[in-house]
């Protein structure tokens, strides 16, 4: 078999100092830009016949998902394969968490097995930081409660930059269940740091005015932003994190906030339609819009692979420096 080739465009000793990626909130603008530029270099690897580079050869990544996932888990796994790392997948149901072992003890055992990187999705906000403070392994947050989902925000801004050439000055609307969304929080941090104008759209129960403290504006009706938006990012209702419905019923939600075909006709032709997935067709987005020309929903998924390669590469390089 042919040997994986190095990627010429990557710095061999990147100026990156974090062994962990826990959230976007703590990142400097330059750090976000370094991840995006590194991801752009890795995206070219996906177009080669041999889609592998040797950057993480000999390293072991544990994909530890204590909540369900399709996109994030699969793309972290593929990203690690493409970097030539070894990968182990574990879930809450197949691990000894089921037998009462604590998250800390599980993670210490993974470290004792020489896991260099632990990618963690967990229902508790702060679980990745808890491990990062206690372990030498790199900890990558793959979504913690309603707190942050940093690689989702990074792939979202990567996709916007790829399609529209910039982030600064763009009008980005995030629509739906903001209160319970880690994707929304990470997106707000990333977009604001990169100079976008962010509007949150949803009912007062799901978009309280307190979000204005993050430097965003709030709208109560999707029709208020249709004609001006450069990007619309639609979010799923996070039923798993709501203790009760925060709006009267789904029909009411669709009436005020669903991106229907009729509403889609009012958008600028250049407006990007985004969704982190999984989508609920006919609720937050009509099928015609999800599958239409302005949708970049699957481009987001493709870009997630390059972004996660960049994050794994940069954090493991920094971990080597601190060990
Ligand atoms: N966007 C996202 O996190 O999707 P998954 O839950 O499928 O990973």
Tell me the pLDDT tens digit for each residue of 202-241. Answer: 999 999 999 999 999 999 999 999 999 999 999 988 776 6
5 falls in which pLDDT band (50, 70, 90)? Answer: low
C-alpha pair distances (Å), 184 with each of 111, 176, 208: 31, 9, 13
Taken in order 94, 303, 315, 124, the sign of the CA dihedral is negative
From CA 155, how far away is CA 162, in angstroms rounded?
10
The residue contributing the CA closest to ligand 1 atom 3 is 72
Predicted confidence at residue 3, as pLDDT, reads: 55
For residue 152 and ligand 1, the question of a CB distance below 6 A is answered with yes
Q: Is the pLDDT of residue 2 over 60?
A: no
Contacts 24+ apart (CB under 8 A), 280-285: 280/236, 280/237, 282/254, 282/258, 283/236, 283/237, 283/250, 283/253, 283/254, 283/258, 284/175, 284/176, 284/234, 284/235, 284/236, 284/237, 284/257, 284/258, 284/259, 285/234, 285/258, 285/259
Structure tokens at 80: 């690690």
Average pLDDT over residues 265-281: 96
**Cα-to-centroid distance, 56 and ligand 1 (Å):** 24
Predicted confidence at residue 97, as pLDDT, reads: 85
Predicted confidence at residue 321, as pLDDT, reads: 62
Predicted confidence at residue 4, as pLDDT, reads: 59
For residue 46 and ligand 1, the question of a CB distance below 6 A is answered with no
Average pLDDT over residues 87-110: 89
Q: Is the pLDDT of residue 59 over 60?
A: yes
For residue 300 and ligand 1, the question of a CB distance below 6 A is answered with no
Predicted confidence at residue 242, as pLDDT, reads: 65
1 falls in which pLDDT band (50, 70, 90)? Answer: very low
Q: Which residues contact 189 (CB under 8 A, 6 or more apart)?
A: 23, 24, 25, 27, 148, 153, 214
Task: Single out the residue of 199, 152, 197 nearest to residue 173, CA to CA.
Answer: 199
Average pLDDT over residues 254-277: 96
9 falls in which pLDDT band (50, 70, 90)? Answer: low
Residue 168 contacts residue 190 (beta carbons within 8 Å): no
Task: Single out the residue of 192, 176, 180, 111 nearest to residue 144, CA to CA.
Answer: 180
Which DSSP category does 85 fall into? Answer: -
Which of 69, 183, 234 has most ligand 1 atoms within 8 Å of CB, for mutation?
A: 69
pLDDT in tens, 68-79: 999 999 999 999
pLDDT in tens, 167-211: 999 999 999 999 999 999 999 999 999 999 999 999 999 999 999
The residue contributing the CA closest to ligand 1 atom 4 is 71
* 3-class secondary-structure state, position 73: helix
pTM above 0.85, yes or no: yes
For residue 72 and ligand 1, the question of a CB distance below 6 A is answered with yes
For residue 71 and ligand 1, the question of a CB distance below 6 A is answered with yes
252 falls in which pLDDT band (50, 70, 90)? Answer: confident
pLDDT in tens, 99-112: 889 999 998 999 89
Taken in order 73, 79, 81, 87, the sign of the CA dihedral is negative
For 210, counting Cβ atoms within 10 Å of its Cβ (0-12 exposed, 13-18 middle, 19+ buried), the class is exposed
φ/ψ region of 44 (left if φ > 0, alpha if ψ in -120 to 50, else beta) reads alpha
Q: Where are the alpha helices (DSSP H) in the chain?
A: 29-43, 71-82, 103-112, 127-132, 150-164, 182-193, 250-257, 261-264, 287-290, 297-322
**Cα-to-centroid distance, 276 and ligand 1 (Å):** 7
**Cα-to-centroid distance, 148 and ligand 1 (Å):** 12
pLDDT in tens, 121-148: 999 999 999 999 999 999 999 999 999 9
User: Mean pLDDT of all residues in the chain?
Assistant: 92
**Cα-to-centroid distance, 183 and ligand 1 (Å):** 9
The residue contributing the CA closest to ligand 1 atom 6 is 69
Share of the chain above pLDDT 90, in %: 80
Residue 91 contacts residue 65 (beta carbons within 8 Å): yes
For 2, counting Cβ atoms within 10 Å of its Cβ (0-12 exposed, 13-18 middle, 19+ buried), the class is exposed
């Amino acid at each position: 078999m042919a040997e994986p080739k190095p990627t010429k465009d990557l710095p061999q000793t990147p100026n990156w100092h974090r062994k962990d990626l826990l959230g976007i909130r703590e990142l400097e603008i330059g750090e976000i830009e370094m991840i995006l530029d590194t991801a752009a270099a890795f995206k070219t690897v996906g177009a080669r016949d041999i889609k592998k580079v040797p950057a993480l050869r000999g390293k072991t990544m544990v994909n530890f998902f204590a909540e369900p996932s399709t996109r994030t888990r699969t793309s972290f796994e593929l990203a690690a394969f493409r970097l030539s790392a070894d990968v182990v997948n574990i879930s809450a149901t197949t691990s000894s968490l089921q037998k009462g072992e604590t998250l800390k003890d599980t993670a210490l055992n993974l470290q004792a097995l020489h896991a260099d990187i632990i990618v963690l999705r967990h229902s508790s906000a702060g679980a990745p930081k808890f491990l990062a403070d206690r372990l030498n392994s790199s900890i990558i947050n793959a979504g913690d409660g309603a707190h942050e989902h940093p690689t989702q925000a990074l792939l979202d801004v990567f996709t916007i930059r790829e399609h529209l050439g910039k982030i600064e000055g763009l009008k980005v609307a995030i629509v739906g269940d903001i209160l319970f969304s880690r994707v929304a929080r990470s997106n707000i941090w990333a977009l604001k740091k990169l100079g976008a104008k962010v509007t949150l759209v949803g009912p007062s129960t799901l978009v309280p005015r307190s979000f204005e403290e993050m430097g965003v504006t709030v709208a109560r009706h999707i029709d208020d932003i249709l004609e001006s938006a450069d990007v619309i990012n639609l979010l799923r209702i996070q039923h798993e994190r709501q203790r009760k419905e925060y709006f009267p019923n789904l029909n009411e939600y669709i009436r005020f906030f669903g991106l229907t075909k009729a509403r889609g006709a009012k958008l600028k032709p250049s407006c990007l339609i985004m969704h982190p997935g999984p989508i609920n067709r006919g609720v937050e987005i009509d099928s015609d819009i999800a599958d239409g020309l302005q949708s970049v929903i699957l481009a987001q998924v493709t870009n997630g692979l390059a972004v996660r390669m960049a994050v794994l590469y940069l954090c493991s390089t920094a971990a080597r420096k601190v060990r």
